[in-house]
Amino acid sequence: MGMIRAAVFACLAPGLAPGLAAAHPHIFVDARVEVVISPEGLEAVRLTWIYDEFFSLLVTEDMGLDEDLDGTLTPPELEELAAYVLAWPEGYGGDLTVSVGGEPVALGARRETGFDFVEGRMVETHLREVRAPLDGPVTIRVFDPGYYTAYTVETPVTVTGGEGCEARIARADILAATDMVEELLYAMPQDEAEDFFPEVGEAFADTITVTCAGSS
């Protein structure tokens, strides 16, 4: 999340080593996913990210917003917060991977961005264009490689425009992923473990699979 990650990282206990601070996620996001399909194939993936209340509170407090803590913002405050959250840093990939028939497909630039603040939680929406033929099952994963942010895909996943298409979710095996992280960290020299955290986010990612009747 780039800029907004810095807001919460600054609130971590002073002296906490970077590797240890990153050993668990600090931002929790409920992700709603819409898969857009046309007769030509896979068109786009629309995402809604609903940030957890605590992180939303940290960001608004840091920015001096929602001072009465009623979970609502004035229009100027909402505009200020939206500009901050939606300012993705250069090079940020958007925590999304898509493949068709086992082959990764390129994602277009973020479009149709939106932002809201609902019951004390920041809500970010956007669309990523794909435009790929349906040569097989579509696999979608929403995850932060560094596992600073933990995403949980909400059900149901919406499939728009795809007649005969259905989406299924395979939940991540959190216990197995956690054991893997512990083994990786224990195997590293202490000085490396304090300064470096392996990119393990994919192991904690839910997997969405979309299949369509007639696709190979």
Q: How confident is the model at residue 174 (pLDDT cuts 50, 70, 90)?
A: confident
Mean model confidence pLDDT for the chain: 84
What percent of the chain has pLDDT above 70?
81
Q: How many alpha carbons lie under 13 Å from residue 6 in its C-beta half-sphere?
A: 8
How far is 89 from 162, CA to CA, in rounded Å?
33
Query: Per-residue pLDDT tens for 89-113?
Result: 888 889 999 999 999 999 999 999 9
Q: Quick one: which of 114, 131, 107 has its CA closest to 42? A: 131
Q: How confident is the model at residue 146 (pLDDT cuts 50, 70, 90)?
A: confident
Q: How many alpha carbons lie under 13 Å from residue 97 in its C-beta half-sphere?
A: 14
Name the residue with higher pLDDT: 67 or 16: 67
Q: Which helix (H) or strand (E) holds 117?
A: strand 110-118
Query: Per-residue pLDDT tens for 10-64?
Result: 444 333 334 444 457 889 999 999 999 999 999 999 999 999 999 999 999 989 9
Average pLDDT over residues 187-215: 76
